[in-house]
Amino acid sequence: MIEFYTLGTSSAVPTDKRNLSSNFLNFQGDKMLFDCGEGTQKSLMIHNLGLMNIDKIFITHWHADHFSGLLGLVQTMGMEGRERPLFIYGPERTEEFTKKLLELGYYNRNYDIFAENLEPGDVVEDKDFQVKAVETKHRVTSVGYVFEEKSKKKVSRKKMEELGLEPCQEIGILKEGKEVKIDGETYRPEQLVSVVKGRKIVYTGDTEFSENIIKESRDADLLVHDSTFTEELRQEGRYGHSSALQAAKVAKKAGVKKLVLTHFSRRFANSTRKLLEEASSVFENVVAAEDGQKFEIKPHRP
C-alpha cells in the first residue's frame, strides 16, 4: 500500500484549520516529504508519521509557504539524535538556499544534509521507485514531481485459477522467464506472467494550467494539483496558480484515476465547496483535500 497525506493545504498564509503546503508519502517504509511549509512537523507528530524516518524532502520552489517548516524540522531531527543523512532536492538554488537555512541560529547537528539542484527531467532513483522533476509554470523557478513505482513482473491469480493452479515454488520461477513443470504439465511464463506498470503520483506544487503537467500525469493514480482559486477569480487577473476548473481539465485530459485539489486561498478557509463543485463539473473523482487527509493506493494487479 502507498500512503499519501496532504499535511498542509493552505496557500501563502496558514489558517486556523490549514497549514502551509506539505505532503507526506510512505512507500513500503520509504518516507518522504513533498514541500515542507509551516506546521509540517506538528502535523507529522499529530498523525504519528515518524518524522525521524524521513530521508528525502522534495521542494517544488523557494516561496516561504513551501519551505518555512524546514528549519524547525531539521533542528528537531538533530535534537532527537538523528545520525543518518537527509537529502533535500529542489529546483535551481536549492543548494544555496539550504546552506543559508542551515547557517541560521544556534543548534547542534550530528548528521549530514545533502542538497541537490534538479532540472526538469532529472530523476532521483531508488531501488523500487523513482521521483522525476517536471516543468511547471509559476512566477519563480519551480518544478513539480512525479513519483513512480518501478514496473514489476507479476503472476495473474485469475489465470492461475483458470488453469487450476495453486501457489507453489514453481510459480515464482516463471517470473524468472523459465518454463516449469507442475503435475506433469509444462507452463510457459507468457501464460501466467505479465509486466505490471507501477503506481504513479503527481504533485504539481504551484503552477498555472500546463500542457506539460497533462503529459506527465498520463494515467496517474493520484494527481495532487494546485487549485488556489475559482475560475472566476483567475479570469480577474490572478496568475501563477490554477483554478479548480483548470485542475479538473488537466485530470480529465491526462486520464488520471483521482484528482486531489490543494493549495487553497485563505478566502476558502471556511469552505472549499465552490472549488469542489467547479472541479466536479468536469472531472468526477475529485476531492478537496483537508489537512492530514490520507489517500491509499493499492498495488496494481495483472
- Please tell me the predicted confidence (pLDDT) of residue 56: 98
CA distance 157 to 108: 53
In a domain, 302, yes or no: no
Quick one: pLDDT at residue 215? 98
Q: Which of 35, 65, 206, 226 is catalytic?
A: 65
Residues 50 and 146 in one domain: yes
Q: Are residues 222 and 163 part of one domain?
A: no
pLDDT at position 158, please? 77
Describe the chain by its helix, strand, coil percentages, rounded to 5. Answer: 25, 30, 45
Question: How many whole angstroms separate alpha carbon 198 and alpha carbon 218?
Answer: 13
- Report which of 67, 12, 9, 57 is spatially closest to residue 37, judged by C-alpha positions: 67
Question: How many CA atoms within 13 Å lie on the side-chain side of 194?
Answer: 13
pLDDT tens sequence across 22-40: 999 999 999 999 999 999 9
Which residues of the chain fall short of a pLDDT of 50? none
Clarify whether residues 130 and 268 are in a common domain.
Answer: yes
Q: What is the pLDDT of residue 184?
A: 72
User: Do 147 and 31 fall into the same domain?
Assistant: yes
Largest CA distance in the chain: 73
**The pLDDT value given to residue 192:** 66
- The range of the structural domain enclosing residue 262 comes to 2-151+197-297
The enclosing domain of 276 has a CATH number of 3.60.15.10
Joined grid coordinates for residue 279:
472541479
Task: Establish whether 128 is a catalytic residue.
Answer: no
Q: Is 179 domain-assigned?
A: yes
Number of domains in the chain: 2
Q: Are strands 2-8 and 22-27 parallel, antiparallel or unpaired?
A: antiparallel
If asked whether residues 132 and 189 sit together in one domain, one would say: no
18 and 105, same domain (yes or no): yes
Burial of 149 (0-12, 13-18, 19+ CB in 10 A): buried
